[in-house]
Amino acid sequence: MKLTLGFSPCPNDTFIFDALIHHKIDTEGLEFDIVYEDVETLNLKAFRGDLAVTKLSYHAFAYAVEDYELLDAGSALGFGVGPMLITKDEELAKELQEILSSKTVLTKALAELRVGYPGKYTTANFLLGLAFPELKNKKELVFSEIEGALLAGDIDLGLIIHENRFTYQEKGLFKVVDLGDYWEKTTNCPIPLGGIVVKRSIPQDIKEKLNRVLRASVEYAFANPTSGLEFIKSHAQEMSIDVMYKHIELYVNKYSVELGKEGRSAIEIMFKKAQDMGFIPKTEKNLFLS
């Protein structure tokens, strides 16, 4: 059976899927048509039901849950892996840090700060809403363009994800808050960033097979970490090998093999908190592959 499969060109995704799409493992008869897109584009494709299987952010999953369910393998959760809010103004960074620690409301002037962010339905945007709900003056940018927009003065704050967390300091930019760390201190849970979902309409035996081969692909990658190096590099633009593997180490972990009780609990807590705050719609659907 052939399935459409969407994932990002980021090192964590190419690392996870290398063995699966290059038949380094037994795919149990499954074949794939691959679509490479940034996560927000994949989110939008999921809303339209364009892909049978896709990576998406957990925030977006809340808007696609009627049609998709979450596989147990392939997710990105963890501690110290969250998106970061940054600025080129060190004094502004300190001012916002003080406001966050004292749990006070932003002044009107601060609330008008221009924020570059990687997409409405990204988990990063959801976390920003938890920490600074007053920041509404947002400009959607491709994640790789946010640092440049900050340096050019087009935005005042940037919400960065992926490998940019390893490079922003080299460019003279300053951290306001690590939103993953903020989430962890608030909930004592790992932060759910993104997962792999499958259409509910696909036969149950195919969904279970898909989960098995995806888990096998992750396990193969852990056992053979340099096996997919050329494939990963081919999608990583100008990223150095050192940064590539830092990226992988940050986002691919035990939750990528299997969510387990802790991973599922973190996702359920995120959904409940977001629903209680009115960020996402409520659903009666089971989130996870049954």
**For residue 98, what pLDDT is reported?**
95
Low-confidence ranges of the chain (pLDDT < 70): 238
Query: What are 64-105's pLDDT values in tens digits?
Result: 999 999 999 999 998 877 899 999 999 999 999 999 999 899
**For residue 186, what pLDDT is reported?**
86
Q: What domains sit in the chain, N to C, each tagged with a CATH number?
A: 2-78+192-276 (3.40.190.10), 84-187 (3.40.190.10)
**For residue 142, what pLDDT is reported?**
86
**For residue 66, what pLDDT is reported?**
96
Q: What is the DSSP string of the chain?
A: -EEEEEE-SSHHHHHHHHHHHTTSS--TT-EEEEEE--HHHHHHHHHHT--SEEEEEHHHHHHHTTTEEE-SSS-EEESS---EEEES-HHHHHHHHHHHHHTPPPPHHHHT--EEES-TTSHHHHHHHHH-TT---EEE--GGGHHHHHHHTS-SEEEE-GGGGGTGGGGT-EEEEEHHHHHHHHHSSPEEEEEEEEETTS-HHHHHHHHHHHHHHHHHHHHSTTTTHHHHHHTSTT--HHHHHHHHHHH-SHHHH--HHHHHHHHHHHHHHHHHTTSS----S--B--
Active site members: 162
Binding residues for substrate: 55-57, 123-124
Q: What pTM did the predictor assign?
A: 0.84
